Amino acid sequence: MKQFQVKPKIYFDEGSLEFLKEIQDESAFVLSDSIMEKLGYLQSAADYLQSAGVRCNVFTDVKPEPDVIAVMNAISRYMEYNGQAIIALGGGSAIDTAKAMIYFLRQAVEKAGHAFKKPLFIAVPTTSGTGSEVTDFSVLTINSKKTALIDKIMVPDIAILDSTCTKNLPPHVIADTGLDALVHAVEAYVSKDATDCTDALAEKAVYIIYHNLVSFFRNADDKDARQRIQRASCLAGMAFTNTNLGITHSMAHAFGGTFHLSHGRANALLMERVIEYNAAAPGDDGRRVIEKYGCLAKAIGVPARTVREGYVSFVQAVRTLKRDLKIPASIKNSGIAENDFMAAVETMAEQAMNDRCTPTNPRTPTKDEIVSIYKKAFN
């Protein structure tokens, strides 16, 4: 039985960070990083909280690609200061760390025989790509492998989309995170668990990203493009938290973890080859997937007079978008040595097969097929 739900209350538009003045908890534990501190966003958040009489404890040791140790350090600080509300201000790493805190806190409390009361959880994304502010996903590095935790307890209660928080992103981060959002939307759209509700969100996200990401990439002061991409990322997150994802993400988790690439860049380097693989599925599965890619072509306004033409046009549109965002055309062109990559392919494929995003891919892969996709993406 399929279901659809969207939990967080979302505040958006420029200046919406000011909502923090409405928080009524006695204290708040704010997770962020040194970059947010330098840019002044962390101080703004603290000022709003303090004006509401909320005692503010700040943790800025959030690391990129968080692991279990980083999460345990955050939990230790949270317990030390007896925090109440949890506020994550930052990119996917900050929000994923906060989510994993809640996940492991619940485990510890319930293991001790007590009922767990989830603290108020507010997510303030400062990149436009993960959609983490509305999802039940958290990606952690566990035993040197990127692992997706999935649990409804981790969905934020409130999301604040203040586009001023994405104004200082460097172009390569805009490109990587924007393409991550695009993959979220595309994989949600073709997921085995897609519904009319998720299709509407995913299709709109694809349209907005296709028509605005390059403008945002070229000029972060473009307020309209900046706001649209932030909202598209959120829409894609709403879609995939209801549908799960596919093997672009499964493979990107393994690939990015092995070669220390950002998650968005890993997705970008793999996405076309996965689209081609899915569209080549035999029988009705393949026809359904090609039709859906064709629908996305119509949505973004590229030629789609026939289903096949729509699919081909959509793949070409993705290639053109990546080129305009200065994404390498292949893994080889990204600077990864062929010998190193080929030596890791079997292990990465095994990890991808066991990833929690794989079961909802529209075509069920074998390990050998995953290996083949990796090799095609390399060249």
Domain 171-378: assigned CATH number: 1.20.1090.10
- Domain limits of the chain? 9-166, 171-378
Range with lowest mean pLDDT among 37-41, 183-187, 290-294:
37-41
The whole-number average pLDDT for the span 103-129 is 94
Strand extents, DSSP E, the chain? 9-12, 27-31, 55-59, 85-90, 121-125, 137-142, 145-150, 158-161
Up-side HSE of residue 140: CA atoms within 13 Å toward CB?
20
- Please answer whether residues 12 and 161 qualify as being in contact, where contact means their C-beta atoms are separated by less than 8 angstroms: yes
In this prediction the pTM is 0.94
Helix/strand/coil for 117: coil
DSSP 206-253: HHHHHHHHHHHHH-TT-HHHHHHHHHHHHHHHHHHHHH---HHHHHHH
pLDDT digits (tens, 9 = 90+) for 227-247: 999 999 999 999 999 999 999
* pLDDT over 70, % of the chain: 100
Whole-angstrom CA distances from 135 to 6, 22, 47, 157 are 9, 23, 27, 10
All residues at 6 or more sequence positions from 67 whose CB lies less than 8 Å from its CB, including other chains: 140, 141, 142
- Please answer whether residues 180 and 129 qualify as being in contact, where contact means their C-beta atoms are separated by less than 8 angstroms: yes
In the structure, what pLDDT confidence band is assigned to residue 47 with cuts at 50, 70 and 90?
A: very high
* 362 compared with 24, residue with greater pLDDT: 362
In the structure, what pLDDT confidence band is assigned to residue 7 with cuts at 50, 70 and 90?
A: confident
Q: Look at residues 16, 377, 357, 6 and name the one whose alpha carbon lies nearest to residue 187.
A: 357
pLDDT of residue 141: 85
113 phi/psi in degrees, rounded to 5: 90, 20
pLDDT digits (tens, 9 = 90+) for 250-285: 999 999 999 999 999 999 999 999 999 999 999 998
- Please answer whether residues 292 and 189 qualify as being in contact, where contact means their C-beta atoms are separated by less than 8 angstroms: yes
Structure tokens at 8: 């967080």
Class of 9-166 per CATH? Answer: alpha beta
* Helix ranges, 301-366 (H): 307-324, 338-353
